[in-house]
Amino acid sequence: MAGALPLALKPHGIRMRTLLPGYPVVLQKIGQNSTKAERIGGFDNLFGHPASILAVDHHGLDILVLDAPALFDREGGPYVDKAGLDYPDNFRRFAALSLTAAEIAGGLLSDWKPDLVHVHDWQAALTPVYMRFGPASGMPTVLTIHNIAFQGQFGPMVFPELALPPEAFTVDYVEYYGDVGFLKGGLQAATAITTVSPSYAQEILTPEFGMGLEGLLTARLSGLKGIVNGIDADVWDPRTDPHIAAPYSADKMKRRAENKLALSKHFGFDAIPGPIFSVVSRLTWQKGMDVLAETIDYIVESGGKLAVLGSGDPVLENAFLDAASRHPGRVGVVMGYNEPLSHLLQAGSDAILIPSRFEPCGLTQLYGLRYGCVPVVARTGGLADTIIDANEAALAARVATGFQFSPVTADGLRLALRRVFALYNEPKAWARLQAQGMKSDVSWEKSAERYAALYSGLLVKG
């Protein structure tokens, strides 16, 4: 979203600059850019360390990078070390990012000051809090929740290090059951709150999905909106995709069979006809992978094959690897993530399985629509908002784009799979379902319109 939305907003006359932490991969990418990064500001002491603000145009994106090696130059991931453990100074690292954003909003850069600040998730959620206590206190802010399960909660001992006044450690700001809540503080201080789908905006008002913040969000209901994500339609385009065996389009679907053959070879599938189901996912409870593991035997017994790309919970990883051992030529597993293979999976499999217990938006089902890979999704969050279930009425009206199911149980998924197999065995009906999905507008165009309207409304009120 941080990469796609700024480009989608340009036709609306909105210029967006995006502040990123100076992770090694970020600095490497901008270092490879033909436009040299320029230092336009910085700090002698940002939470105990020097830092620079770099500016660069990267493929049309106006990027600002917080280059603070002591905070972001790490060998592990963005949030965890090589052992998979949270960095103990994550509170300081992302407070630094948020404070930098607030300082920029307050006029830190000599030649530019924004009209509005849009932040994402707990890692940037302190920005509206810092702004409330600084020179940008009257500037509108938008906070987008991508997954409310991740809240950035730390013990009270970190508060003195955050460079916030004492009154910020109250229920009106960051205090959260005695701890410091980054996301909680941002939700209190932001002018408007968005989520990445309309259904998720409603779900997080309930105890089941609100993760303890449902009361606060209900109190902020008038400022809460759900705006579904889009995808990069240039990167995910079966007509031009360099990662697939054969390009194709909705009106040239015969070539899609070449991708199915290439996918079968990659996973060592046998030549027995039948649908190929795919999974591109973290192998976790949230994603419903335990439920899928229970249905693998049913898929194979019904004449299907399963191709899995992902990693996650070791117990679930082993469950899928065991299934591949039980069903050679019918179940294939690749652990880890492989971008080119994820494209081939969308282009070569018949259906993609997304049995998530909760899913704020999801992009995998949007890629599936774009590639004629029929999504089979749990009826939750953005999955429910973006897929039209292939029930009798929707099929008769020729508006169906995939299959929804509920509850997220093995029986619920098996019932959905039974419907998938039945329709797959009606080639003309299946082809119509694929074609309808490929007509779906999964770009950022409509969502950008909604964000442009949201920004304009906030600026008018301000």
Q: pLDDT tens digits for 226-276?
A: 999 999 888 999 999 999 999 999 999 999 999 999 999 999 999 999 999
Average pLDDT, the chain: 96
At 31 the pLDDT is 85
CATH of domain 5-230+446-461: 3.40.50.2000
Contact call for residues 205 and 218 (beta carbons, < 8 A): yes
At 113 the pLDDT is 96
pTM: 0.91
Q: Is the pLDDT of residue 306 over 70?
A: yes
At 387 the pLDDT is 98
Give start and end residues of each alpha helix (H) in 15-144: 24-31, 69-72, 90-105, 121-124, 127-132
Q: Is the pLDDT of residue 34 over 80?
A: no
At 462 the pLDDT is 61
Please tell us whether the domain made up of 253-439 is placed in CATH 3.40.50.2000.
yes
Per-residue confidence band for 353, with pLDDT thresholds at 50, 70 and 90:
very high
Start-end of CATH 3.40.50.2000 domains in the chain: 5-230+446-461, 253-439
User: Looking at 5-19, 21-35, 179-193, 196-210, which range is the least confident one?
Assistant: 21-35
pLDDT digits (tens, 9 = 90+) for 57-81: 998 999 999 999 999 999 988 999 9
Contact call for residues 230 and 217 (beta carbons, < 8 A): no
pLDDT digits (tens, 9 = 90+) for 104-151: 999 999 999 999 999 999 999 999 999 999 999 999 999 999 999 999
At 328 the pLDDT is 97
Residue 69 contacts by C-beta under 8 Å, 6 or more apart in sequence? 22, 49
Q: How far apart are CA 267 and CA 289, in angstroms?
A: 20
